[in-house]
Structure formats: structure tokens, C-alpha cells
Amino acid sequence: MGNVMELNESNFETQVVQAGIPVLVDFWAPWCGPCRMVGPIVEELAQDYQGRIQVGKLNVDENQALSGRFNVRSIPTLLFFKNGQEVKRIVGAQGKAQLQKVVEEVLG
């Protein structure tokens, strides 16, 4: 997965909340078709914005408490965090151009 971290209950706090740069978290599950379309795009963004954003994937089946904490009701859901706070949310599969636009916004 290159620059994409596997996120879970034990590393979420350090990798996302305490991260020094914005973080994109992909809430997904292996059985979710649209998630499989978004996955490769998220990995490309991790490459394109290396050093500027951190990218992680969170399996909702294995991390239900975190999904609940952030009110993730359907997947794929992409959350953007800045200084530990959610600043942007995208629900559903999006193309790379739309996601790049949001990353640029978040980076400001």
C-alpha cells in the first residue's frame, strides 16, 4: 500500500489526532464495491501529496468504535483531519479530480 497506513483503535490517536500534517482517513471494508474503486485513488493521493498529507485506511468491520465515534454510517467515507479535528467529509465514491480539489482546499 505504499504510503498508506493501516489505522486501528491502537494507533488512531498518534497517527491521526496528533499528526503534524493533515490526515485523510479512508473508512472502508473489504466487501464494499465502491470502496475498492476509491482505494487506488486514495493510494495515488498518498503518493502525489507525500509529505504534505498523511493517508490512512480504516476497516470499519474491525474498528466499529471508531466508526461510531465519527458517525460513519455508509462507506466509503473519507474524513480529512487537521490538528486532530475533522475538517471535511466525503461520503461515497468520488473521482480523483474531485478528491484532489478537496485535498488542495484542506491544505489551503
CA–CA separation, 13 and 18 (whole Å): 6
Enter the C-alpha cell of residue 104: 488542495
Our answer to whether residue 95 is catalytic in this structure is no
Q: Which of 16, 24, 35, 103 is catalytic?
A: 35
Q: Which of 4, 16, 23, 32 is catalytic?
A: 32
Residue 10: partners with Cβ closer than 8 Å, 6 or more residues away = none
**Closest-CA residue to 24 (of 45, 47, 51):** 45
Starting at the edge strand found earlier in the chain, the sheet holding 77-82 runs 4-7, 54-59, 23-28, 77-82, 85-91
Our answer to whether residue 35 is catalytic in this structure is yes
Q: Could you give the residue numbers annotated as active site?
A: 32, 35
